[in-house]
Structure 1
C-alpha cells in the first residue's frame, strides 16, 4: 500500500475542512422548536424559531417530507427579542394549513424536526403514560413481577388518635412518589382524582388491556380505572377508621441509597416503614420542623377522591364503601381546619403545601349527596372558593416546593359545572384572572412561557394547560387557546432545549434517556410515560444540595442564566419523573386525544361578548344592523345573491314592525340569511365614557329584548333559532353580557380593527366621518396585514340621508375581494358553531 506523508495528510485535512466550511448551513446558530408529538389538522399550530444570531426570518416554508415540495409558505411571523440562551426569537404560525401528512419547516437557514399533522397524533398517549403509573406500584409491582415493602408500616405521632407509636397498620400498596419510594397521601389522592376525572370526562381515550394486577389481559374495566383503584385501595388503608388518617409512609431516610424497590430496613423496625399520623400539629423528626396547622388539605383530598370514585365504579358494595370513606374523610377534614405538610428527617426538602381552602371547596362540591348537606354543600364550597380565588403561584413568579398544591384549583371547575348565573360567572372569572397573570408574563417571549421555573415546573405547566382548557370549556371564550396550546407544546419539545419532557413519547424523537431514576440507572428499564420535573431557575439549581452531573451536558448550548434542564441522572431537580405529575398528564393527553373540531375552535371575547370566531378557519361573518333606515336593503340582498353568500341581519323591534321593511325581512329569511335581535327601542345600555355605568335596569333590559323577540315572532323567527344577540350601538358591558346569558342568549359584537362600523357617518359629523374608500381600504389593509379569519364584519342596512357616499354600493367589490382571497362568508351561527 502506498504511504502518505504527514504533510500530505495535513493538506487533505485542510481541504476537507475548507469544503465543510463552504457548505455549512447558512445559520447554524438557529433552531426551530416544534411539538415533536404532532398536531391535529384543525388545531393551532405554531413553531418557535430561535437564534443566537441577530437575523430574523421574513417568511417560512412548510415542506412535504416525501416530495420535498413547499406546500405552504407564510410571512405570519411574530418577532420577539432575547429569551434564555437566544438573542432573537419568533413564532411561526401555520395553523391555516390543515392537510394531514409529514412535513418540516424551513426559516432563515434553520430546518425543524419532522412535523406530523394527523387527527390521531395523540391516540393511545394517555394509556402510554399509564405505563409509568403501573411501574410505580408498591406492594405487587407488575413491571418487575415482584413485590416490595410488604411489611408496612408502624405508626408515629399516633397519640392524638389514641394509638401507641410503633403500632402496626397494614399500609401495603399505592404508588411510589417519584424515583424514591416515599408515599404521600396528598399526592396519591390528587393523582387518583386526576385518573378518575380522565375516565369520567374522556372514557373513549382508554382501553382495556390489563388486569387489575397490572398484568396483561382484559377484565372488562378500562385500565385507567384499574390504576385509579390501586390508589383508592391504598388510600382506604391510610384512612382505616373514622378517627385515623395517615399522611405519609416512609421519609427522606429512603434517600440513603438508590435501588430497585425492595424491602427497606433503614427505619429501625425491621422491614417496616413509619406511618405518619395526621394530628393537625407541626411534626419534627430530626432537626426539621414542618408547618402543619390542621387536617384539612390531605383529608379533603381523600374525601374528593372517594366521592368521585363512588360515582364511577359499577361494583355496588365497593361504591358504598367509597361513599362511606368520603363522608368520614370530610369529617376528618373539618376536625382541625388548616394545612397538613409532609415530614422530613435528614434534609430540608418537604412538600410545603400552604393552601387548603381549595381542597375544601373541591370536597364540598363532590360530597353534598354523601354527607346529606345537599345544596348547602355547594354554598359552603362557594364560600371557600372566595377565600382563594386565584391559585397563588399564578400571580407569583416563584414558590416553595409544592407550596400551592395541586397547582390548579379543581374545585372551581367542579363547582362551576353545578352552578349558574352570577356564581358560575365568578368562578369562571377566577380562572380567567389567574390565566391573565400568566399571560402578562408569557406574551413577552416567543415560547409564550409564563409559568415560573420552580421545582416541578412541568407539573405546573400541565396544570396550567388544563386551566386554560377548562376556562374555554366553561366560558366559550377561546382567547387563551394559543396560550394553552403553547404550554402543551412546551411539554413535547417546543421549548429552548428542543426535547420532550415525557420519557419515550414520542419514541422517534428526543426524549429523556438518563432520568434520575433507579429503574433506568440501575436496571436499564424504560420508564415509559414518566413526566420529568422540568427546567428550574438557574439560581435554584445552583443552590440545591448534592447535584453533580455524571456526563457532559448534551444541552449545554441551551442553558442560560434564566433556566436549566439536564437529561442526566445526577440532576434530581429537573430530570426526575413524578407520579402525580404523570397522572395529571394522563388527564391532559386524554383531553387532547378526545378533542373535536368544535373543541379546537378559538373564539375571542370582550366584556363577555364573542367578538371573533375561530381564527384557524378562513371564514368570516358579514353582519348588518338596522333600526330606522333600510335604504341599502335591496342592493345588499342583490350583492349577496350574486356571490351566493349568506349574511346576518340584526334588527330592532322598530325595524321589524316597520311595514315598509316587511318585504325585505321576508325575502332575507326565505333566502337563508340569519335574522336576529338588536333590542326593541335601540336603547343605550351604558354610559359612553364610563362603560361600567348602566343606563338601564335589568327589568328594562329584559322587557325591551322580549318586545324585540315578539316583533320577530310575527315573521316566524323564534328565540331558539335566533339566540345570538347584537347590542344596540354595539355598546355594552359585562353586566349586559351576564343578563343576556341569563336569558339563554349569546351576546356578540363586531371584531375591531377596521372602520366598517363608520359606514353610517355623514360629513356633518366632522372628524368622525369616513368615506367609503377609507372604509374599504381599512378592511383590505387589515386583511393583508393580519387576515380576517373568524372576523365579524359589521355594516349597516341603511344610513342617514345626509350620507350620500353609501358604502353598500361598494359591497359587490368587497365580496369579490374576499372571495378572491379564499374567504368563506357564513352566518354568525355557522361561524360560532351552532
Structure 2
C-alpha cells in the first residue's frame, strides 16, 4: 500500500508538472514573435492574441524588468476576424536574453538581442541543402545524427522514350549524379533547380564579403571557396549533366516513373530516367549557367575552366531554345504516347516568355552581347511579381538592376524606367503592412496563402532587400525583416517554420528522410511550405483561415512539405539580413 501511495503521488506530481508545462506553452503561444532573436538597432515587435491594450514588459530570465511599453490595437483585423495587440519594443537595444510579459502573467518564449541574432538560422538554412544531397553518403562528422548512406547514385540513368534523339535513343544509359533532392521526394527537376540555384548564386553575388565568412562544416569546406558556392557546385555540376551535348537542349527532369515510398534513399531501387527536353528547362539552365559563369570567373585557379564551360553551356542552351521556342512539358499528354508513364512532379509551364527574359538578361550581363537585348521584354509595374519557378521574369530584372554599370554599356536602354517601376512595385508591397494584424507584407492579402506560402514571404523579403540596396530606404529593410520574423514565429499559427529552430517547432515535415530515419527530430534547416487552405492532400488543417490553415503532419504535403525553391529565398533573406544588420548597418535613424 505504501508503494502504491508513493507511486500515485509521483504520478500525480508528474501529471501536474506536465499540465503546468502545457499551460505555459499555451500562454507563450498567445504571444507571437520571432522565437530566435532580434538585432539591437532593428525593429522588434510581438503580436498578442488575447489583449489589445494595457502594459507589457520585457524581463530578463531572472525577472528583472528592463523595458515597459503599451500594447496598441492593430488597425485591421486578422483573417480570423479579430484584432491583435501589438507590442513594440524596438527601443530596447541592449544585448541579452529576454522574455515579453503582460500583466495577466502570460510570458513569451525567450529570445535574444544580439548582433548575430539570426546567424544560426541563416547558416542552418544553407546547411539544409547539404542534408538533401543526392548520390552521396552523409558522414556523421558533417551530418551529426542525421548521417545516412548514399542514395540514388544516378550513374546509370535511362533515356526515357520522350527524350530519345538520334544520338541518344530510348534506353541509352547516361550518368547524371549529384544534385539536390527537390522536395519531400527523391527526384531532381531542372526548372526548380534553376530558380533555387540562381537564388543562392545571387546571395553570394550580392553579399560576397559576408558570404566569405560563412562556414558550414561540409566536406568541401576550405579557405579557397566560400561554402555557399561549394554547396551550389553540388547541384550545378548535376545540372550540367542534364544538357544533351549534341544539340544543347536540356532534359526537364531526372526521375523515377513514380514516387518512392517513405523510405531512406538507399532503400530505393526503381529505374531512373531523364525525361523530355523542354524550352522552360533549357532557358532556366541557360540563365543559371550564365550567372554561374560570371561568378566562377572570379575563381580561375580554384575552378579552372568552369566559368568557360558554364558560358558555353548557356549559349548552347539558348541556341536550342531559340530554335525550339514552344516545346512545353505536358506530362499528361506525354503519358498518352510514351512509356513508361511518368507520375512524379510535373512542373509544367504553359508559357515561356518569362524564361526567355530571364535567360536573355543573364546572358546579356555575362557576355555583353547585344543579340540578347530584343528578348528582354518589360511589363507594366502592376504585372511585376515576386519570382516563382513558373514565373522567373523578375529574376532577370534583378540582374539588370544589380549590374547597372554593365547594362549601360549595352544596347538595352530601358534601365531607368525599370528601376522606377521596380521601386513602385516594392512600395506596393510595403504599403499598408503596418496596419495589418501581424505587421507583415505576407499578411496583407489572403492570396498569398497558397501552396508554398512561406516561399512567398521569403521572396517578398528578397525583393525588398534589393529595393533597399537600390536606394537605401529603411522601410524596405524593415519590412523584409518583418517577413523573416513572420517565418520564425510572428504568424497566425505560432510555428517557427524552419526545422530545428524555435520553441514551437515543425517536427513532422513531409520529407522522406525525416520520416524514415528513426530520429525524433526532423532533418534541420528545411523550410516547411506553410499555411494553405487548399488542402490538396485531403489532410484537414487546424483552421481554414488563410494564415492559420496549417498542420504539422508528415502526410500533409500541401502545407508541410519542404522544397529547394522554398529554402533558397529563406537562405537569401536570412543571410542578407544578417549581413546588413551585423556588418554594414551600424545605426538607424
**Shorter-chain TM-score range:** 0.7 to 0.9
- Residues 43-95 of structure 1 show CA distances to partners (whole Å, capped at 9, x for unaligned) of 111111123xxx422332222223x2221222373524542446220322211
**TM-score of the superposition, structure 1-length normalised?**
0.58
Whether the 8 Å CA contact 1:57–1:107 is kept in 2: the answer is no
Whether the 8 Å CA contact 1:503–1:527 is kept in 2: the answer is yes
CA distance in structure 1 between the aligned counterparts of 2:137 and 2:4, rounded to whole angstroms: 62
> CA 1:410–1:353 in structure 2 vs 1: closer, same or farther (change >3 Å)?
same
The 5-angstrom pairing of residues 33-72 of structure 1 reads 33-51=32-50, 55-66=51-62, 68-72=63-67
Q: SS state of the match for residue 141, structure 1?
A: coil
Partner of 1:186: 191
Partner of 1:498: 494
CA distance in structure 2 between the aligned counterparts of 1:568 and 1:181, rounded to whole angstroms: 19
Partner of 1:611: none
> CA 1:304–1:145 in structure 2 vs 1: closer, same or farther (change >3 Å)?
same
Higher RCO structure (Cα 8 Å, ≥6 apart): 2
* Counterpart selection for 2:227 from 223, 228, 239: 223
Partner of 1:200: 205
CA distance in structure 2 between the aligned counterparts of 1:349 and 1:318, rounded to whole angstroms: 30
| Number of residue equivalences | 543
1:328 aligns to 2:320 (yes or no): no
Partner of 1:589: 574
* Counterpart selection for 1:313 from 288, 295, 299: 299
- Residues 190-242 of structure 1 show CA distances to partners (whole Å, capped at 9, x for unaligned) of 2222222222333434557678xx53764633222221111111111011415
Whether the 8 Å CA contact 1:295–1:340 is kept in 2: the answer is no
Structure 1: segments with no counterpart, 5+ residues: 281-293, 395-401, 602-613, 618-834
Quote how far apart the aligned CAs of 1:347 are.
5.9
Partner of 1:158: 163
1:255 aligns to 2:259 (yes or no): yes
- Residues 494-549 of structure 1 show CA distances to partners (whole Å, capped at 9, x for unaligned) of 1121111111124xx2221111122121113541111111111x2x11xx24x447
* Counterpart selection for 1:245 from 249, 274, 284: 249
1:92 aligns to 2:87 (yes or no): yes
**TM-score of the superposition, structure 2-length normalised?**
0.81
- Residues 393-432 of structure 1 show CA distances to partners (whole Å, capped at 9, x for unaligned) of 79xxxxxxx67445x8222222013338994442233333
Q: SS state of the match for residue 71, structure 1?
A: strand
The 5-angstrom pairing of residues 323-722 of structure 1 reads 323-337=311-325, 340-341=328-329, 343=331, 350-353=346-349, 356-368=352-364, 371=367, 373=369, 377=372, 379-380=373-374, 383-386=376-379, 390-392=383-385, 404-406=390-392, 409-419=394-404, 423-439=414-430, 442-447=433-438, 448=440, 449-450=443-444, 452-506=448-502, 509-525=503-519, 526-536=522-532, 538=533, 540-541=534-535, 544-545=536-537, 547-548=538-539, 556=542, 560=545, 563-596=548-581, 617=589
Q: SS state of the match for residue 356, structure 2?
A: helix
The 5-angstrom pairing of residues 743-762 of structure 1 reads none
> CA 1:107–1:84 in structure 2 vs 1: closer, same or farther (change >3 Å)?
farther
CA distance in structure 2 between the aligned counterparts of 1:239 and 1:197, rounded to whole angstroms: 23
**Structure with the higher fraction of residues in helix conformation:** 2
| Structure of larger gyration radius | 1
* Counterpart selection for 2:180 from 175, 180, 184: 175
CA distance in structure 2 between the aligned counterparts of 1:177 and 1:208, rounded to whole angstroms: 24
> CA 1:348–1:492 in structure 2 vs 1: closer, same or farther (change >3 Å)?
same
> CA 1:77–1:277 in structure 2 vs 1: closer, same or farther (change >3 Å)?
same
